[in-house]
Structure 1
Amino acid sequence: MRYPEQYLQFIEKFNEGEYYECHDLLEEIWMEDKSDKFLQGLLQLAVGLYHRECGNIKGARWMFGNARKYLARYAPSRWGLDIDQIILYIQSCEQALPDADSIPYAKAKAMAFPSLRLLIDQS
């Protein structure tokens, strides 16, 4: 399958930890079909990670919950991604969040947090 260039760039930026840039890359193709909850779920995962990095724990928790809910519809895989693996990752992110609505930026940046490398299955 041939994937949109923005999707491939999203994967690359996600793997580099550039979560803010991820949003801009997928938003354009998601806006063409807002009923596509797969793309919305990926967007919300990236936004959740960005919120977490900035210390907005409440926002991260909200985005992770939405991302998990939207992506679960597409398990076990979609567009070459292992959705089951992504769901497990989101759950580990939710568990790693501190019990607070927000934390200082420096504390958020220094905090150990689960990571995930997205890989497109070419088979």
Structure 2
Amino acid sequence: MNNYPIQYYEFFVSFNEGDYYTCHDLIEEMWMTDKGNLFLKGLLQMSVAIYHYEYGNVKGARLMMKAAHNYLQKYRPFYWGLNLEEVNDFIEQCLLIIPEEIDKVPYNKISSLSKLPNLYLYLQDV
């Protein structure tokens, strides 16, 4: 089994619990020491995108999700114990759901946005 940074394991727990703000902090901590790691940057931006969407920042969610999609492509199909085909499918579904014509939704109207699909991340050894 690989020895990933502890923050990577904690990222999986936080992501699966829906705590995307903490996900951002955990991945950012790793990425700050390895800024060339676009895999981490992609996970970071995917987490930030979901967080933005949940708070009505539709434009930010759209931009971050598109960036995450771009960054993660070269790591497919499998990297650091993560099935990136599942992640890629999730991102592409989100991009179909996140409205192109809306930039922001007031907090009290967030329930009017379509829900994003659920994604649960699992570490797998190959």
Whole-angstrom distance in 1 between the partners of 2:79 and 2:111: 31
Kindly indicate whether residue 102 of structure 2 is the aligned counterpart of residue 100 of structure 1: yes
Match of 1:121 in 2: 124
How far apart are residue 36 of structure 1 and its match?
0.3
Q: TM-score, normalised by structure 1?
A: 0.94
Give the aligned partner of residue 60 of structure 1.
61
Number of equivalenced pairs: 123
Normalising by structure 2, what TM-score? 0.92
Gaps of 5+ in 2: none
Extract structure 1 runs of 4+ deviating beyond 3 A: none
What's the CA shift for 1:108? 2.4
The sequence identity of aligned pairs, in percent, is 46
Query: What do you get for the CA RMSD once the two structures are aligned?
Result: 1.2
- d(CA) in 2 for partners of 1:117, 1:109: 22
In the TM superposition, residue 48 of structure 1 has moved relative to its aligned partner by 0.2
Residue 122 (structure 1) shift: 2.8
1:80 aligns with: 81
- The structural deviation recorded for 1:86 is 0.5
The CA deviation at 1:84 is 1.2
- Indicate if the aligned counterparts of 1:53 and 1:109 stay in contact, CA closer than 8 A: no
Alignment check: 8 A CA contact 1:56 1:103 kept:
yes
Task: For structure 1, list consecutive stretches of 5 or more residues without a partner in the other structure.
Answer: none
